[in-house]
Amino acid sequence: MGKFVNRQRGSGTRLFLDYNLKKLNINSQSISGYEREEFTHIAVAAVVAAGDADCGLGVYSAAKLMNLDFVELGNEEYDFAVSKEFINMEMITEFINVIKSEEFKNELDILCGYDYTEIGKIILL
């Protein structure tokens, strides 16, 4: 049986795993290595690349960096929330300009695995 390396409790990746284990009625104690925790996607990939674990949950860019195989399990979206009263502040508009820029998108392309089709989209609530 293979050995797993986990992300730390409280990380989005760990929440994703634990949610799906519960949904599938899988006891985490049945997973060899479940208790071994790393704090970054790169650290998980490094453990697998070193042969200290057979697999771990992480992002494509970390797997690619460590020359590992990757099986996509889902997509994750991130939102940047700001109060309406601050939306026109210079630092907020500059942040939005940066993430919408071709230079930033090119950097995401280098990392691989990121969908930026709606990056910088503003939704007023």
Tell me the per-residue pLDDT of 67-111, one tens digit each, with 9 for 90 and over.
999 999 988 888 999 999 999 999 999 999 999 999 999 999 988
Radius of gyration of the chain (CA): 18
DSSP one-letter string for the chain: ---EEEEPTTSHHHHHHHHHHHHTT--GGGSTTTT-EESSHHHHHHHHHTTS-SEE---HHHHHHTT----------------GGGTTSHHHHHHHHHHHSHHHHHHHHHH-S---TTTT-----
Query: What are 51-69's pLDDT values in tens digits?
Result: 999 999 999 999 999 999 9
pLDDT of residue 76: 83
